[in-house]
Amino acid sequence: MGKKSNKMNNNAARRIQSSQDRKGSKGDQGFKSRSMSAASKNQSNKK
């Protein structure tokens, strides 16, 4: 019984970026770009 997954959206991607920036985590810039990419892809699939 898996959990229901929520698709990444623009608001979630912004939250992730903001959190990473507050932490000062410079080593994981790739995660921020992947979250924005996923949000963009999911947004375009909705149309």
| Residue-wise pLDDT tens digits, 12-37 | 888 888 887 887 766 667 777 888 88
Decide if 21 is inside a domain: yes
Decide if 3 is inside a domain: no
Rounded distance between C-alpha atoms, residue 12 and residue 3, angstroms: 18
pTM value is: 0.56
Decide if 5 is inside a domain: no
Decide if 38 is inside a domain: yes
Decide if 32 is inside a domain: yes
Domain count, the chain: 1
Looking at residue 40, the DSSP 8-state letter turns out to be H
Decide if 4 is inside a domain: no
Structural domain containing residue 30: 10-45
Mention every residue, 6+ apart, whose C-beta is less than 8 A from residue 27: none
Decide if 20 is inside a domain: yes
Rounded distance between C-alpha atoms, residue 16 and residue 37, angstroms: 12
Residue 38 near residue 13, CB atoms below 8 Å: yes
Q: What is the pLDDT of residue 8?
A: 81
